Every structure is written in structure tokens, then in C-alpha cells.
């Protein structure tokens, strides 16, 4: 036995390792108060310290067969308590980061929802703007901006040059934006993009 070991603890630990509930209760009564104050100093909150204390002794019972009885039991308990406190603060940090992410995501959802509603309000104006485009410009706009085709692919479909496709697109986008701006509405780029997506999806 280690010279620092308590003979009474040694006997109780032997009984504990054998599954003796009475020995477990005696050890709990002997060390729980000291451990509670130690945990309270580490985590600051009485309720959290009490919960950690209970969890600590649950671990002691569950891992009783792994306890090295030639080491001081008090030192063993303090080491376990320290690790549990560290895990507690890590958990708090994860929760804090999760809450920040939830708040950030909520703000984005609210912002995007507002943009979606605004986009719906501009739907009629957008329909008019697209309908007002000459056929070739409208076709180039749909092929490239909505169907995701390259200028080269659109050129082959329309039987025109890629440069002509580009010119059609520039004029089409300008026409649509001007039509919307003339309505006097403060239409954001995001609202316009969402409305365009909804119109042709």
C-alpha cells in the first residue's frame, strides 16, 4: 500500500470494488462535502456543482473495478472532479457557439423571408419587364441566366455568335432593371434575383 493511502479508505475501496453499496455510501458521506465545495469553486454555481458531484459518484460506482486502491482515493476524486469541470466548461462553450449560430441563422432567415415577400410583390412588374423584351433578348436571357447555359451553348441554339448573345444579355438585363426602377419601387438586387428565380423556376 502507498504510504499516503488511508487504511480505512483501502478497506472501503476493497469492499467498493466488490460491489458493496454500504462501502460506497460511507465513501460518499466521507468525501462528498469536500468535493462539493471544490466543484463549486470551479464552476461557481451551486446547482451545477451539485449535479457534477452526483455524476462524479455515479462514475465512481460504474468504474469501481478500475479504481487503483494503492493510490489515495481523495486525490483520485479530485482528479475526476477537475476533468468533469473542464468538460462542463467545454460544453458551455459549445452551447454558446450553437446559440450564436442559431441567432445568426434566425436573422438570415428573417431577412430572406422579408426579401421573398418583397420579391412576390414585384412579380407582376417583373413579368411585364420580361414580356417587353424583344424575342432574341428574352431567349438569350432565359438560356444563359435561368437555364445556366454558356454563351457558346446559347449561340449554337440561337444560331448566332457568342458575342451577339452577350450583347443581347447586357441589353436584356438593363431593360428589366430600368422597367423596375421606373415603377418607383426600391427594389433590391436580392429581391430582383429571387423574383427572377421564382418567375422561371
Instruction: Break the chain into its structural domains and give their ranges.
Output: 7-97, 122-200
Task: Work out the angle at residue 50's Cα, subtended by the Cα atoms of residues 48 and 52, and round it to the nearest 5 degrees.
Answer: 70
Fold (CATH) for 122-200: Arc Repressor Mutant, subunit A (1.10.10)
CA distance 110 to 116: 10
CA distance 29 to 17: 17
More confident call, 168 vs 108 = 168
Tens digits of residue pLDDT in 17-75: 888 889 888 888 988 888 888 888 888 878 888 888 888 888 888 888 887 766 678 88
Which of the four pLDDT bands, split at 50, 70 and 90, describes residue 125? confident
Burial of 191 (0-12, 13-18, 19+ CB in 10 A): buried
Q: How far is CA 92 from the centre of its chain?
A: 14
Most confident by average pLDDT, 58-62, 89-93, 101-105, 121-125: 58-62
Q: How far is CA 176 from the centre of its chain?
A: 38
**Domain 7-97, classified CATH 1.10.510.10, yes or no:** no
More confident call, 191 vs 93 = 93
Amino acid at each position: 500500500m502507498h504510504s499516503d493511502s488511508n487504511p480505512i479508505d483501502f478497506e472501503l475501496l476493497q469492499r467498493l470494488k466488490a460491489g458493496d453499496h454500504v462501502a460506497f455510501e460511507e465513501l460518499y458521506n466521507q468525501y462528498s462535502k469536500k468535493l462539493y465545495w471544490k466543484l463549486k469553486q470551479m464552476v461557481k454555481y451551486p446547482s451545477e456543482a451539485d449535479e457534477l458531484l452526483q455524476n462524479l459518484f455515479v462514475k465512481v460506482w460504474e468504474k469501481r473495478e478500475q479504481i487503483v486502491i494503492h493510490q489515495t482515493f481523495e486525490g483520485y476524486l479530485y482528479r475526476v472532479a477537475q476533468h468533469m469541470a473542464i468538460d462542463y466548461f467545454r460544453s458551455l462553450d459549445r452551447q454558446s457557439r450553437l446559440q450564436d449560430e442559431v441567432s445568426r441563422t434566425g436573422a438570415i432567415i428573417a431577412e430572406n423571408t422579408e426579401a421573398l415577400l418583397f420579391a412576390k410583390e414585384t412579380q407582376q412588374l417583373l413579368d411585364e419587364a420580361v414580356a417587353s423584351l424583344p424575342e432574341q433578348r428574352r431567349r438569350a436571357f432565359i438560356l444563359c441566366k435561368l437555364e445556366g447555359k454558356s454563351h457558346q451553348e446559347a449561340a449554337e441554339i440561337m444560331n448566332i455568335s457568342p458575342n451577339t448573345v452577350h450583347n443581347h444579355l447586357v441589353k436584356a438585363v438593363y431593360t428589366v432593371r430600368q422597367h423596375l426602377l421606373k415603377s418607383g419601387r426600391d427594389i433590391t438586387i436580392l429581391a430582383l434575383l429571387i423574383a427572377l428565380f421564382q418567375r422561371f423556376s
